Amino acid sequence: MLNHKARPKESTSMCKSWSKMNALSVARRVTILIAVILLPISLTSCGRSGSDGEKKTTQKSEDDFLDKDAKPDERKYLLAAKPFFVAVANRKYADAYALLSGHAKARMSFNQFTPAEEQATFQQYESSPYMNVTAEQFAYLMRYVEAARGTPRAPKMLSVFSTDPDVLNRRSKEQFGAMDSMFAIGAMPDWIPANIRRASLRGQIHTELSPQELQNVAQREGISVEELKKSPDFDPYFNLKVVLVEEGGQLKVGYFELLPPSIMD
């Protein structure tokens, strides 16, 4: 069992052999700035409640949540990321863990599961990562996601964000290059080789709130739980960011972040 530190002062039994951590890159600082300025919206954040007003979780096929406008050369990345995305949505965390690359398992930060809003806390999480994470430890960390965002219940959408090597490696010279990299790879460690990064994908997963959280949300909105559930705008979810890498000739999840809803969705 992972003796996880849910806050910086708590201890962890996992080995922290990371002796030196690089300073946050420009993209990471932008990430923190955006998080502070554009605070995540509540768990009831609706985004879009489904195409053409259809039922939020109704899917015509198992691939219905995949981006229909993806370019032909992006399709392979959608299909490569799909198993991990579906495993998380179905709470099959052992299956999701098995789809991670060696790089993803070697180091995980608590920010990947429930990112800190304060810069100092964010940096502290980054400087004390979990090393050589096991399947059991990964599943344990997912409990924090469920507690903060709700229980995953179904895929909502998945699309390719970028395949630009410069964006995937924070090397873009474009005016908004740092911003693009922030959305593409977040706080992905610089030590993960640049030449194996292939694509960044972003998706959303529907969640189910606990009865207590439903009651809390309804009270904040000034309506009953029944009215809340009937609202077309009530669609709790969280975001999932995935960076695919090529490892051993196969596309695998090299890095991921599970993020709260935000007004940027």
What HEC string does the chain produce?
A: CCCCCCCCCCCCCCCCCCCCCCCCCHHHHHHHHHHHHCCCCCCCCCCCCCHHHCCCCCCCCCCCCECCCCCHHHHHHHHHHHHHHHHHHCCCHHHHHHCECHHHHHEECHHHCCCCCCHHHHHHHHHCCEECCCHHHHHHHHHHHHHHHCEEEEEEEEEEEECCHHHHCCCCCCCCHHHHHHHHHCCCCCCCCHHHEEEEEEEEEEEECCHHHHHHHHHHHCCCHHHHHHCCCCCCEEEEEEEEEEECCEEEEEEEEEECCCCCC
pLDDT digits (tens, 9 = 90+) for 72-113: 999 999 999 999 999 999 999 999 999 999 999 999 999 999
pLDDT digits (tens, 9 = 90+) for 107-143: 999 999 999 999 999 999 999 999 999 999 999 999 9
pTM above 0.95, yes or no: no
pLDDT digits (tens, 9 = 90+) for 46-64: 444 443 333 455 555 668 8
170 or 56, which is more confident: 170
% residues pLDDT > 70 (the chain): 77
